[in-house]
Structure 1
Amino acid sequence: MVLTVDVGNTRIKAAVFEGSNVLENFIFEKKELEEKIKKILEKFQNCSDLIVSSVGSVEKQSFMNFENQLNVHFFSHEDIFPFHNKYATPKTLGIDRMILAAGATLKFPKQNRLVIDAGTCITYDFIDENDNYLGGAISPGLRLRYESLHNFTARLPLLNLEAPNSYIGNSTAQAIHSGVVNGFIYEIDGFIDEYRANFSNFIIILTGGDAEFLAKRLKNTIFANSNFLLESLNQTFQYKIDND
């Protein structure tokens, strides 16, 4: 068994795998990390490896405290990946984006793939049918858009995510929801349309914390999986074992 852990900007996701099968998923706060991993390992005592992808502010030692129970692995730019990294600044490419690109490459061979990760930030990562990682885009996620409207204006309130009633907001709150949510959806559909116009044999993978909210609102057909990064961690780890 393998325990995969994705440390994001706001929270932590984890999953236990046996082969390619997910046995259980977990979501918890950063301050709960060691307590939660301890409980997971008590429940799944046959876990042999802990695989970590981290973009958040969690000390490496928090994971290394478990090295007497299982093998701890941190993915880095020096690891082997199933794609050719054509990014102009490859060392600055986030490990989470590399893991997503690897998962897309392994799960959908010989296709053009666009991975859209809708979390604190929304990232777009494109891997062509020849397994070349070409790059993508980064922009603020839904929560950041709500917060920026509140933090950088004098009077706009901080709202929680809510589907707008119409594209015409008839109150300040509805105008904010329309601008944030509809603007976000138009952005994603616009990017997808641009890629579709330039590439055939194309698949779109939508993941991240806001994936389920967005999936039914996008006009384009997508493959939505909010746990794609955890699955990609497991797949990429198996690829690393097979190719070391």
Structure 2
Amino acid sequence: MILCIDCGNTRVKFGLFEKNDLKVNKVFSPEKTEEIFDWLDSIEFDDCILSNVGSKNTEWLDRLKDEIDIYEPDAYSNLPIKFKYGSKDSLGGDRIAAWCGSIQQMPKSNILVVNAGTCITYDLIEKENGFIGGNIAPGLNMRFRAMNHFTVRLPLIKSHQVNPGSLGTSTESAMQHGVVNGIIYELEGYFRELSSQYSDLKCIMTGGDADFIAQRTTIKPLVDQFLVLRGLNEIAHIQ
């Protein structure tokens, strides 16, 4: 059994795999140290692999590293995907794992991999040559917070729901439409442009805002909230 850990900026996901089967999954806030350890004490596993793009000083992770060996893949690891990247040292393990998870879910396909978390990453996987390139953009909450932080009068919007249509009719609804529709147009624009270059392009999404975005786009992506965990499991099996 392999324990896979996806430690993001706001959540920690755990997945317990037997071969390629996700047997158990659990999600915690990273500050819930005792809850995390109570759960870890209740399971058995042979190996552990981690992607950590969140806090480097989480108490639960420090304690876990004192007790067991944890493998943390990076751009120099043995990976099931080909890629070239100009700044390997800054390449996040979650992006690498999402690529590996996507080719496990959609083998021999051209894929737009979208991770909609604190930031949104758009990565292209080509069926013959692996990772081609990708972009990083502000995520849903980051866009709302930025408008509030960098202006004097714009409020902090907490509700992301938007009414039908493209335009708002108040400051709040204009901000909601601007952010939500902006992300939808961004996603659909990337997909439309890349579809003209890569045949039968598919889209797979993960991340905290993936379901919210997927429900509002016309491209009908596959949403897999365990994509990074699946990718970590793939990586673990070839080390």
Both structures adopt the same fold (TM-score exceeding 0.5): yes
Pairs within 5 Å for 1:39-58: 39-44=38-43, 46-58=44-56
Is 1:7 the counterpart of 2:7? The answer is yes
- Rounded Cα–Cα distance in structure 2 between residues aligned with 1:87 and 1:138: 14
- Rounded Cα–Cα distance in structure 2 between residues aligned with 1:202 and 1:168: 30
% same residue? 35
Sort the Cα spacing of 1:191 and 1:101 in 2 relative to 1 into closer, same or farther, 3 A. same
Question: Deviations along 1:180-202, whole A, 9 cap, x unmatched?
Answer: 11111111111111111110032
SS at match of 1:201: coil
- Rounded Cα–Cα distance in structure 1 between residues aligned with 2:11 and 2:188: 27
- Rounded Cα–Cα distance in structure 2 between residues aligned with 1:142 and 1:60: 25
* Aligned 8 A contact 1:48 1:70 in 2: no
CA drift of 1:120 comes to 0.3
* Aligned 8 A contact 2:4 2:49 in 1: yes
Deviates more, 1:52-61 or 1:174-183: 52-61
* 1:21 aligned partner: 21
Give structure 2 stretches of 5+ with no counterpart. none
* 1:109 aligned partner: 107
- Rounded Cα–Cα distance in structure 2 between residues aligned with 1:172 and 1:61: 41
Question: Deviations along 1:102-134, whole A, 9 cap, x unmatched?
Answer: 222333222111100000000011121113311
Question: Deviations along 1:159-216, whole A, 9 cap, x unmatched?
Answer: 1142211322111111111111111111111111111111003221111100111111
TM-score, length of structure 1 as denominator length:
0.89
Say how many residue pairs are matched.
238
Question: Deviations along 1:56-107, whole A, 9 cap, x unmatched?
Answer: 1233885353357654211122211112222233333222111111222333
Is 1:147 the counterpart of 2:145? The answer is yes
- Rounded Cα–Cα distance in structure 1 between residues aligned with 2:57 and 2:119: 22
* Aligned 8 A contact 1:2 1:16 in 2: yes
| CA root-mean-square deviation | 2.0
* Aligned 8 A contact 1:143 1:161 in 2: no
* Aligned 8 A contact 1:4 1:51 in 2: yes
* 1:210 aligned partner: 209
SS at match of 2:132: strand
Sort the Cα spacing of 1:92 and 1:67 in 2 relative to 1 into closer, same or farther, 3 A. closer
CA drift of 1:15 comes to 1.9
User: What is the identity, as a one-letter code, of the residue corresponding to 1:227?
Assistant: F
Give structure 1 stretches of 5+ with no counterpart. none
Q: 1:74 aligns with which of 48, 53, 72?
A: 72
- Rounded Cα–Cα distance in structure 2 between residues aligned with 1:207 and 1:153: 31
* 1:180 aligned partner: 179
- Rounded Cα–Cα distance in structure 2 between residues aligned with 1:49 and 1:24: 15
TM-score, length of structure 2 as denominator length:
0.91
* Aligned 8 A contact 2:74 2:96 in 1: no
**Structure number with higher relative contact order (C-alpha < 8 Å, ≥ 6 residues apart):** 2
- Rounded Cα–Cα distance in structure 2 between residues aligned with 1:170 and 1:216: 23
CA drift of 1:235 comes to 1.9
